[in-house]
Amino acid sequence: MSTSEKTVTVVRRPRWLRVVGALALVSTAATVWLGLWVTPPDAVQKNLVRLVYLHPPIAWVALYLAFGLSALASLLYLWRRTRSMFWDRLAASSVEVGVVFNALTLATGMIWGRPTWGVWWTWDARLTSTALLLVLFLGYLALRRVPVDPEVRARRCAVAALIAFVDVPIVHFSVIWWQTLHQGATVLNANLSPTIHGSMAWTLLLGFIALTLVFVWMVGVRYQIEVLADRTGAERLEVSLAERWAEGDLDSSTAGGNGHANGANGSPVRSPTRVGQ
Amino acid sequence: MWRDALLVAGKDLRIELRSRVALWQVLPVAVLSLVLYAFALGPARHTLAAAAPGLFWLAVLFSTVLATQRSFAIESGEGTRDGLRVSGIDPAGVFLGKAAAVAAELAVLQVVLWAAMTLLFGVHIHTAWLAIVASFLATIGLATAGTLYGALSAGLRVRETLLPLLVLPVLAPVLLAASRAWSGALTGPVSSGESWLRILGPFAAVYLVVGIVLYGPLLETA
């Protein structure tokens, strides 16, 4: 079919995204190398400490970066002066990547918790809140999948992201509000002096940078997919409408040419003269 | 805004008074759930008494989902939301009115549930002020967050299944804090119950403010 051939476009990622992707790959590889081979095992936690280079950076990306970015983008979407689909797509991409990282936060936390605390799960406040956040943002994704007008969807999702984001501070302060098993913040503690030292601190810092880059790259790619999905959706609609109209023309010409176009299921569709509008 | 809120709340409550759906459907389901919890936990009095605050608030939580669903179902008729939108009523007023109506229904529900609980589980409140303050704050939190999410899923074909997924995780802190506060009011210590008001209060305040600010954009998308 000539129409479907026309919709095939070659997608090239923008240069900045490819650069970020390469940097993410290199820094992640460096973190793995430093984390697994260069840094020494911990005096108390032995090799388990190596998860520390991964778990806090993943949590940082999920709980603060991803959901923070989605809240900011949602806010900018709702604000009339900056309203554009760019913010809607950015918020959606960010939440989707955030949900993946949120699940990884829980998974790595559980892998660390089993040998350390002896259980996969404890009803610790921070664990529970992180799990709640996951469900909360799964709800956002569910809301996004409901077929409605893109404008309506964008606005409702923006509101949903903002309401859900209000829950994030509860996660953050839960460590202070509730007395828990979970250890307090190691890097960003109250007086901002890191409590780990040497190669371990550098590896952890690199882990933060690497996973932030991975996050940026994933959101960038996801954003592109969102744009393409919208575009192909619109193109497919045009193609199928054109097909319907063609059928309608055929019907009307064989049925005496009364000039009314009808869809395949008998429901009236818009007249072919409005194709270009 | 306040006059509009009163108008909307009056409208919702009048519809409820006349249709009696909340009275004859939501309320019996809530009481029934107490009986079902007892079936699940066994008839031992001390088990039920220990679990009572949590079960009470669980029943209220699920009733909130039903009440908000009902609150938006009465506006699902043809053009009803459009009518509300073009009536010139302040969106913040609509939000406050609908939340107030849900809160009023929840307050009645809690009184009835409490009576049922005293009869069925044999528990008594020792510190009345704590229970009342906790109930008041929790009800505001439940009604405001519930109304926001009700509006979010209103008019969608999948709203019945979507609303619980959206609203229950958000309301979880209220369940947690209200249960603990009531536990303090029922069996003590009062001080541990009191400290949970520090979660109920900000939660209610935050969702009240968020609702007033964000309801406008939501109403436009109906």
Instruction: Tell me if chain B has a CB within 8 Å of the CB of A135.
Output: yes
Question: Is residue A238 assigned to a domain?
Answer: no
pLDDT number for residue A114? 87
If one compares B86 and B61, the residue with the highest pLDDT of the two is B61
Judged against a pLDDT cut of 80, whether residue B42 lies above it is answered with: yes
Q: What is the DSSP string of chain A?
A: -HHHHHH-------HHHHHHHHHHHHHHHHHHHIIIIISPPBTTTBGGGGGGGTHHHHHIIIIIIIHHHHHHHHHHHHSGGG--HHHHHHHHHHHHHHHHHHHHHHHHHHHHHHHHHSSS----HHHHHHHHHHHHHHHHHHHHHS---HHHHHHHHHHHHHHHHTHHHHHHHHHHHS--SS---SSS-TT---SS-HHHHHHHHHHHHHHHHHHHHHHHHHHHHHHHHHHHHHHHHHHHHHHHHHHHHHHHHHTT--S--B-TTS-B---GGGTT-
Question: Is residue A277 assigned to a domain?
Answer: no
pLDDT number for residue A197? 63
Instruction: Tell me if chain B has a CB within 8 Å of the CB of A83.
Output: no
Peptide bond preceding B189: is omega within 30 degrees of 0, i.e. cis? yes
The low-confidence residues of chain A, meaning pLDDT below 70, are 1-11, 167-168, 170-197, 249-277
Question: Is residue A199 assigned to a domain?
Answer: yes
If one counts the domains in chain A, the total is: 1
Question: Is residue A131 assigned to a domain?
Answer: yes
Test B170 with A163 for CB contact under 8 angstroms: yes
Split at pLDDT 50, 70, 90, the class of B33 is very high
Average pLDDT over residues B34-55: 89
pLDDT number for residue B152? 86
Nearest to A160 among B166, B199, B220 (CB): B166
Test A143 with B217 for CB contact under 8 angstroms: no
Question: Is residue A22 assigned to a domain?
Answer: yes
Residues of A in Cβ contact (< 8 Å) with B145: 163
Q: Write the CA distances from A82 to A77, A78, B161, integer angstroms.
A: 6, 8, 33
The mean pLDDT value of chain A amounts to 78
Test A143 with B152 for CB contact under 8 angstroms: yes
Nearest CA to CA, how far is A101 from chain B (Å)? Answer: 19
Test B210 with A163 for CB contact under 8 angstroms: yes
CATH of the domain at A159: 1.20.120
Nearest C-alpha in B relative to A130? B169
Nearest C-alpha in A relative to B192? A178
Nearest to A132 among B145, B172, B198 (CB): B172
The mean pLDDT value of chain B amounts to 88
Nearest to A132 among B157, B169, B199 (CB): B169
Q: Which of B166, B180, B196, B200 to mutate: most A Cβ within 10 Å?
A: B166
pLDDT number for residue A276? 36
Residues of A in Cβ contact (< 8 Å) with B166: 139, 142-143, 160
Split at pLDDT 50, 70, 90, the class of B4 is confident
Instruction: Tell me if chain B has a CB within 8 Å of the CB of A48.
Output: no
pLDDT number for residue B124? 87
If one compares B42 and A256, the residue with the highest pLDDT of the two is B42
Nearest C-alpha in B relative to A148? B156
Average pLDDT over residues B182-199: 84
Test B170 with A155 for CB contact under 8 angstroms: no
Nearest to B210 among A148, A152, A166 (CB): A166
Instruction: Tell me if chain B has a CB within 8 Å of the CB of A176.
Output: no
Q: Which domain covers residue A65, as residue numbers?
A: 14-221
Nearest CA to CA, how far is B152 from chain A (Å)? Answer: 6
Average pLDDT over residues B26-43: 90
Question: Is residue A233 assigned to a domain?
Answer: no
Question: Is residue A256 assigned to a domain?
Answer: no
pLDDT number for residue A255? 46
pLDDT number for residue A219? 95
Judged against a pLDDT cut of 80, whether residue B11 lies above it is answered with: yes
Q: Write the CA distances from A56 to A51, A105, A188, integer angstroms.
A: 9, 8, 11
Split at pLDDT 50, 70, 90, the class of B76 is confident
Joined together, the tokens standing for residue A266 give 């008998």
pLDDT number for residue A131? 86
Nearest C-alpha in B relative to A141? B166
Test A163 with B199 for CB contact under 8 angstroms: no
